[in-house]
């Protein structure tokens, strides 16, 4: 079988892109270098901010730059593309239409993964940027799968925004206690699972070694799908 090459449309943000690549390597069942995936990566941090544009269309539009990067990945030999950024999936349809290779939908993979991990899941809470939540992209996927959707209230969202932009993206230590309070707030809303709908929050899961079945990491869901789509095996345990 011809070896498949994964294209990663990255830089949104750069730390999350590096973590995603590391995650793929660690999750692949490999005994030698040659057992790992081939990857082509664009790490393009100067892509205009997705949340700013979604909330205010007068701000610079990130879509043309992301389309340009997707086309580069296709021309470089990628067999399919992933975008390790939840908010960027607001532009998913346009990016997919711009290339002739598949673009895996991170949100779809996440909801399927949540359903496989938690049988009978009925309600999911999503933590993410203001842009992700305002766009309604996760609600649309939840509705499609017959799952009730919940998001933080305004005060909780303000605290979450500080963690994402004021701390993680700024290279500062995140307030872990505040983050876990936000998670528990969603659980009090009767959510069966909480999705870390921002790739910076996935970094918190890694750095603080969070291992809870009810906390779903979209990066992990996307990495699993990418490994399998490339014809490789997942490492167990």
Catalytic residues: 85, 198
Alpha-carbon distance of 112 to 103, in angstroms, equals: 16
The single-letter DSSP state of residue 80 is: E
C-alpha distance from residue 83 to each of 51, 68, 87 (Å): 15, 13, 10
Alpha-carbon gap, residue 202 to 58, rounded angstroms? 30
Would you state the structure tokens that stand for residue 177, as one six-digit string? Answer: 């206690």
Main-chain dihedrals φ then ψ at residue 5, nearest 5 degrees: -115, 130
- Per DSSP, the residues of 167-203 read IITTT----HHHHHHHHHHHHHTT-SEEEEESHHHHH
């Amino acid at each position: 079988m011809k070896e498949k090459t994964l294209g990663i449309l990255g830089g949104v943000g750069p730390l999350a892109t590096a973590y995603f690549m590391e995650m793929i390597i660690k999750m692949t069942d490999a005994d030698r270098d040659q057992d790992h995936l081939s990857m082509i990566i664009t790490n393009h941090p100067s892509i205009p901010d997705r949340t700013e544009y979604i909330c205010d269309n007068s701000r610079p539009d990130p879509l043309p730059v992301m389309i340009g990067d997707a086309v580069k990945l296709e021309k470089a030999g990628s067999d399919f593309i992933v975008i390790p950024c939840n908010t960027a999936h607001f532009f998913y349809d346009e990016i997919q239409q711009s290339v002739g290779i598949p673009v895996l939908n991170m949100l779809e993979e996440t909801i399927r993964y949540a359903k496989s991990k938690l049988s009978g899941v009925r309600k999911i809470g999503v933590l993410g940027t203001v842009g992700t939540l305002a766009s309604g992209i996760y609600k649309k996927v939840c509705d499609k799968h017959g799952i009730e959707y919940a998001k933080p209230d305004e005060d909780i969202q303000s605290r979450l925004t500080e963690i994402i932009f004021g701390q993680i993206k700024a290279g500062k230590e995140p307030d872990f206690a505040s983050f876990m309070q936000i998670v528990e707030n969603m659980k009090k809303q009767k959510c069966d699972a909480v999705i870390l709908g921002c790739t910076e929050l996935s970094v918190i899961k890694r750095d603080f070694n969070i291992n809870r079945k009810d906390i779903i990491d979209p990066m992990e869901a996307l990495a699993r799908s990418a490994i399998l789509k490339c014809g490789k095996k997942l490492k167990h345990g």
